[in-house]
Every structure is written in structure tokens, then in C-alpha cells.
Amino acid sequence: MSPQGFGREYRRRGRLSQDGGIGVIKGATYWGGDIMAKLKIYGTPTSPPTRVARVAAHEFGHDFELVQMAWRVTPDELFELNPGGRVPTLVHGDVTIWDSRQIWAYIEALPDSKPHKFLRPLDGPHRWRESNAVTLAYEMMSGTMVVRGMAEDPPIEDHPYLERNLARRDHALRALDEMSAEGWMVDPKTFGLAEAVMICGTDALVGREVIDIHDYPYLAGIRMRYETRKSLADTKGEYYPGQRGGMPAP
């Protein structure tokens, strides 16, 4: 069942067991309407997509456990958890989700989610603008990961695929900056997935000294506006030049 379908099914059946009984909705068990299972997010503290999932848990008022899993250290275990071999992965009772965008949607749809003030729903009036911004932010992160991988020993310094991914990263950043020229990405009064993905991705680029964020002045302004938001401040990893991906925190 999709995350959105999960929420609709819950609402269709009504509040389960208001007298304290047990109810089950394919993949999660409820007692008196409360989810019993704890959210477990597998990944590393410096993985931007993993951070997106952690931000989602914060924003919707859920406790969660970050279970460190890095492809360089435990590749077999990671493939067993996620056949795609990537993080993050969310495990919630019998439900497993492999993509940070879908993790956000799933957590939003949970019946006991309590969204923080001014948090924008995915299916709101700006959903398609948000969808484009989110796509660009993930393209930025995807291109960055390829470029970083090709820089490792033995480095690949001249290859069409390298140039292509550098261009993907830079064009996505420039387009996001242009989208934000009015001082906001999706809606001036709310925060949502688009801002979260952009900030998680650019925090890594800035911390690893890959980009100068002041080359993207509108994005810099949005980052400054939200840098003290609790979900972002509490999940920010430690980044430094030359940092390798796929490694657990010390």
C-alpha cells in the first residue's frame, strides 16, 4: 500500500479501537489508535537523503532511531535491507520503505503525525511547483554523488559521464536559485520537502567546500532563514573537504 493509500485506508476505517482494542492495517499494528512500532531509519549522519528522512520524522513529531548502516562497511547487510543498495531505509513494524521522498510521504500519512507549525503538506495547492523543486534538488544530489565517486582512487578526471554529472549538479543548483528569486522556493509562508532536500544537499556541498553558496544568493537566503529550524539543526552532520561517502560516523 502506498503511503497516501495507507492514510486514506486508516481514515476510511475510522479511528481504530477507540475503546482500547487492537486494529491492524496491513503493515502496522495500532493500540487505541496509536502506532506501537518505533520508526527506524537506516543510514549515516552525513548522508543527505538519510537526513531528509530524519527531518521528516522531526517535522511530524515522531521519535526515531538512526541505525548506522554504510555501504563501505556492511554492503551485504545493506543489500539485504534494500536491494537497491542505498540509504536511507525506513523500517516501521512490517513496513519497509527505500526512498527518502516516499519516507516523507509515509510519515506525513501516519495517523498519529503532528506536523509542526507552518509545515506544508505534499498535496497542497503548490504540489507541482514543489515536485519540480524536489526533483531538481535530488538531481543535484545524484550528480554530486557520481562526481565524488569518480574522484576517488583511481580518479577519473576526463570522461563524458563526469562532465555530464558536473553539469547536472550545476544546472540543478542554478535552476533552484532562479526558482527562489522572490525569496522563497514553493510558498513564502511555509516549509516543506523542497526546502528540506535543498538544505540537506547543499549543507554537504558547502561543508565539503565543493561550492560557495554565495554563488547562489537566493538559496543562501533561504538556507539562512531555516538554519535554526529544529529539525535541520538537530540532524546536521559534520562535513569536511575530502570526506568519503558511505562511511559511518566515528
pLDDT tens string, the chain, 250 residues long: the values are 455 554 444 433 333 323 333 333 333 434 334 444 689 999 999 999 999 999 999 999 999 999 999 888 999 999 999 999 999 999 999 999 999 999 999 999 999 999 998 999 999 999 999 999 999 999 999 998 888 777 777 777 888 878 998 999 999 999 999 999 999 999 999 999 999 999 999 999 999 999 999 999 999 999 999 999 999 999 999 999 988 877 777 7
CATH number at residue 81: 3.40.30.10
Burial of 180 (0-12, 13-18, 19+ CB in 10 A): buried
Global pTM? 0.84
For the chain, where are the alpha helices, taking DSSP H only? 3-13, 48-59, 75-81, 100-109, 127-151, 160-179, 193-207, 217-226, 230-233
- Within-domain flag for 100: yes
Number of structural domains the chain divides into: 2
* Same-domain pairing of 135 and 216: yes
* Same-domain pairing of 135 and 66: no
* Same-domain pairing of 139 and 45: no
162 touches 150 (CB < 8 A): yes
CATH number at residue 151: 1.20.1050.10
Domain end among 58, 76, 109: 109
* Same-domain pairing of 27 and 92: yes
* Same-domain pairing of 169 and 195: yes
- Within-domain flag for 186: yes
147 touches 180 (CB < 8 A): no
- Within-domain flag for 248: no
* Same-domain pairing of 72 and 151: no
* Same-domain pairing of 172 and 94: no
Range of the domain at 39: 3-109
- Within-domain flag for 133: yes
34 touches 40 (CB < 8 A): no
